[in-house]
Structure 1
Amino acid sequence: MLDIKAVRQDPDAIAQALAKRGYSFDVAQFTALDARRKQADVESQALLAERKSASKQIGALIGQGMSVDDAKAQVNETLEKIAAQLEERTAQARTVQAELEELLLSMPNVPAEEVPEGLSEEDNQEVSRWGDPAAFDFEVKDHVALGEALGEMDFETAGKITGSRFNVMYGDLARLHRALIQFMLNLHTTEHGYREIYVPYIVNRDSLRGTGQLPKFEEDLFKLEGEEGYYLIPTAEVPVTNVARDRIFEDAELGEEGVRFACHTPCFRSEAGSYGRDTRGIIRQHQFEKVELVQMVRPSQSDAALEALTGHAETVLQLLGLAYRKIILCGGDIGFSARKTYDLEVWLPAQDTYREISSCSNFGDYQARRMQARWRNPQTGKPELLHTLNGSGLAVGRTLVAIMENYQQADGSIAVPEVLRQYMGGSEAIGG
C-alpha cells in the first residue's frame, strides 16, 4: 500500500508515476475523499471541545440562580445533542476512512525510476543472456510427447481424477521432479544464506491482503468453502512474507543481509483469464511446485538485494546448464505490488523461444505497510518499515520441462544434468 502522506503531499506526482504502468489514478476522487475525512475530523474535534465546555456549565448556571436539578437537566440535554452529533460525525469519518483505505488497497505500487516505459510484455527489455540454446541433429519433441512416450506423464488420468490443467507423473520423471526441489533447497540454504522454512498451504484473507493478492485478484485464487475465509496459497510468497506481519525486527535479527527464507510449496492458481493459453502440458497448471526465495531487508539494502536474489535464481539455471535470458519488465507488465521486476526466461527447444521460469521482484515498503512489517532503526530507536522481495528459485514444473526438452536424446531418453545425479541414485539418464 502506498504511503497516504506521500499521496496527500503530491497526488499529481503519484498519478504521473502510476501512469507509467497504465494505471489511471483519480486525483479528484482522492482529494474529495480526503477533504471529507478532514472535515469530519475537524467537526468531531469541535464537538469534543463543545462537550468539554458544556460539562463545566452546571456551576455557572447555578451561580445564575438556576436550581441544581434544572442546571443538570439543561446541561444533560445539551450533552445528549452533542453526543448524537458526535456519533454521526464519527460514523461519517469512519465511512470516509474506510473508502480511503479501500482506494489505497486497490492502487498498485509506484514503479522504480529505472523501470522502462511500456504497457505490455512487448516493451520489456533484455538485460543479458547466458548460455547457447541447445542444438539437435534430430527432430525435437516437446515435454508432453517425451513424457508420454516414457509412460511417466499422464494427463488423461489427471483429468479423470480432477480435471484439466493437472497432471500425474510416475517413476523416474516424478523422481527427477523431486530431485529438482532437493537440489534447489540445498543450493539456496547452503550457498546463498537462506533459512529453510515450512509454512501452511492455506491462508486467511489478512495474509493475502498483506502481500497484495486481495482485494484485487480474488478471482485468481482458490477459496475454500466455509465461513473462515481460507484460501489455497497461490505462491509461498504469501505465507512466508506474512511471517513478518505485525512484527518489529530488532536490527540484530536482520543480520548483515536481512532475513532470507527459502520455501518449497505447492501453488494453486485458478489461471483466470488465461484460458486458451498453454493448454498443452505443464507450463500453466492449476497446481504446481515452486521453491520460493523471500527476503526482508533494511531499505538501504533493497536495490542490492534484488540483484542478489535474481543472481541466486540464475545460479540454478547455470548449474543445470540451461540457456536463459534476463528481462527487466516495463511499467505496464510488472506485478501489482512490485516496484521493479526481473524475469528469467529459459530456452525451450520445442517452442523455439524463451519462456518465463522465474520472476524476481522488489516491493519496497508496499507490502510491509499493508502488513506493518517493521524493523527498529538503531540510529533513531524507532520502528521503520522493512522492504520485501521475492522470486522463484525456481518454478519446479517449468524447470522440469526445460530439462526434458534441452536434455532429450535421439532415442527418447532424457539425460540427467550432472548436478542432479546424486539425487537420482547416480542415474545419468531416464528412459531409452
Structure 2
Amino acid sequence: SGKTDRRPNFQRMMKDASLRQFDVVLAWKSNRMGRNMLQAMMNEEQLRSNGIRTIYAEEDFDDTAAGRFALRNMMNVNQFYSENMAEDISRGLMDNASKCMSNGSLPLGYKTGKDQKVVLDEAEAAIVQEIFTRVSCYEPFIDIARDLNRRGIKTKKGAEWGRSSFHTICRNERYRGIYIYRDIRVEGGMPRIVSDELFYKVQEVLKVKKNPQGRRKRSGYEEYLLTGKLYCGHCGSPMTGIAGTSKTGAMHYYYTCQKRRTDHSCDKKAVRRDQIEKAVAIAIQQQLLTDENIQMMADETMAYNARTEIKYRLQSLQQQLYSNETSTANIMKAIEMGIITDTTKARLLALEQEHGQLLAKIDTAKAEMVPINREDFVSLLDIYRTGDVNNKKYLAALFDTFLVRVDLYDDHFKIT
C-alpha cells in the first residue's frame, strides 16, 4: 500500500538510502512513494539528495524540468485519487448503513447473508443468549469463561474466553435488534437475539458486578464456599470471608459486607460462615430439590439435550476445523507453487497442531453427548438432596451445581 510511508520495509529502504547502499529505486508507480503529495515529494527529494534515482515501471518521467513537473502533477493526481476513493468508500458504507446492510465485521451471533443483510448465525446466537442469561443470574464471568473454553467455544476473533470478554457483548444494543453504524440507528434493522427485559436486567447486573472472583482459598484459613455468591441484602455489596481468634485461642470464621469492612458505610452485621453455608444448603435441599422440581428438571434437561446439543455444541468446533483445513490447503498450494519460507513452514506446523487439538475436542464433545438416562439423572439429583451438610466437599458440589447468588438480610435470605 502506498497510502502511508509508515511501512517497515519502506523505512528500511530510506534508512539504507542515507547510507548510499544502492543507486536506483524501482517502483511500480509514483503512488508507491505515498499518496499524500507532500509526503511523496519529500521522499523523492530525500532519495535524490542521496544521489539515488527513482524509476517507475508504469510511468516515464525523465530527469528534466518538464519531467519533474509531470511527476509533481501525477503525485497530485495520486492524492486526489486516494482522497476521492476514501470518500467513495465512506459514502458507500453510509449508503449500506441506510439500508441496514452489513458493513465490515459483525459481533458474535451474526453473519452476512446472501443479500448483504445481517442475519443470525444460529450457533453463535445461542451462545449469546446463554451468556446474557447466565450474566443476568449473577454468575461470575470467570466461571462462564471456563465453561465456554471447556466446551471448545471461541470468541468472534477465535480466541479463548476471559473474564474481560463479556463487557462489550453485554452492552451491545445490536442484540436488541438495533442496527448501529456511526450515528445511524435503526430499530428492528437486524435480527433480535435477546429481549429488552433480559438486556436491561444485564445492564443492572453490570452496575454491581465488577469482575467477581470465583471461590478461592486463603492462605492459613479454610475455604469460604460462598465467596463470589453471597451478597449483602442491605447494600448489594459482596460478602467476603474473614477470621478472628477468640480469647480462648479458637478460630472463628465469618462473612462480612465488603462496604462495611472497607469504609463502614453499611450496617450489615457479619454472619458465621458455617451457619450461613449450612442454612443455604438446607434451603436448596428443601426448597429446590423437591420431588416436583426434580421431575421438572429431568424433563427440561431431556428436552434441552434433544433440542440443542447436537445442533449447537459441535457446530462451533466443526466450523473451526473447516477453517483450519481450508487454511492448510491454501498453504499446501503455495508450497506446491514453490513458495516455501520459514513463515509458511511455521504456519503449517501451527495449523497441524491446531488440527489435532480440534479433533480431540470434537471427540471429547461427542463423548460428553452420550444421551443421559432420565432415571440416572433423577438418581443424581436425589443424591444431592440427601447429602450431608456438614461435609465441605458436598457443600462445594451443591453450590457449584445449583447456586448462583445469595442475598443475605437480617432475618432471611434469598437464593437464586
The TM-score, its normalising length taken from structure 1, stands at 0.24
Higher Cα Rg, which structure: 2
Name the one with the larger helix percent. Answer: 2
Name the structure, 1 or 2, with higher relative contact order (CA <8 Å, separation 6+): 1
